[in-house]
Amino acid sequence: MKTLLCAALVVTACAPGERKSAMPTSAQKYVGTWEGRAYRSESDTGVTYQIIMALVVDGSLRGTLMYPGTTLPPAPIRVREFSETSIVQELGPYHSRVVNRDVVTRAVGQVQGDSLNGTFEMRPPEGGDVLLKGTFRSKRAS
């Protein structure tokens, strides 16, 4: 009886479970390279950036923020939530050349076709008041 019970437990534990698809449909909208500009105000000419997003093994979206033409190191991006139409990202910590200090940025964007646009807020990595708010506009790179 003990042997039969043990065998049943092993078979149950090893049985294939529900499998998740390799890439959820909504994640596909965000994977790839995005090029854009971040703006402090409507009259601002913007800071050029590039983001590369990928779906990682655990099913989450992760990325890297880079500033082309600078020597600033890449900054990590963690996607906190996403859907078919929107994404919430946490960037950093990284050194912002605009506020000239280390920051963590929360960005909320809406995707429409090959455009991803939204708003952002920069804060000190240790928390505290908002250092800078703005908007961003980006397009999927060809």
Question: What are the CA-CA distances from residue 98 to residues 87, 104, 125, 136 (Å)?
Answer: 24, 13, 16, 14
Output the domain CATH number for residue 98: 2.40.128.120
Report the pLDDT averaged over residues 67-93.
94
Between CA 58 and CA 46 the distance in angstroms is: 34
Range of the domain at 115: 26-140
Spatial neighbors of 116 by CB under 8 A, at least 6 apart, are 30, 34, 36, 87, 109, 110, 138, 139, 140
**pLDDT for 17-51, tens place per residue?**
443 444 456 888 899 999 999 999 889 999 999 99
Q: Does a structural domain hold residue 134? A: yes
Residue 99 lies in a domain: yes
pTM: 0.78
- 130 in Cβ contact with 139 (< 8 Å): no
pLDDT at 115 over 60: yes
Q: Does some domain include residue 50?
A: yes
Specify the DSSP class assigned to residue 31: -
Residue 111: its pLDDT value, please? 94
Task: Answer whether residue 18 is part of any domain.
Answer: no
- Tally of domains in the chain: 1
**Amino acid 12: pLDDT:** 36
15 found inside a domain: no
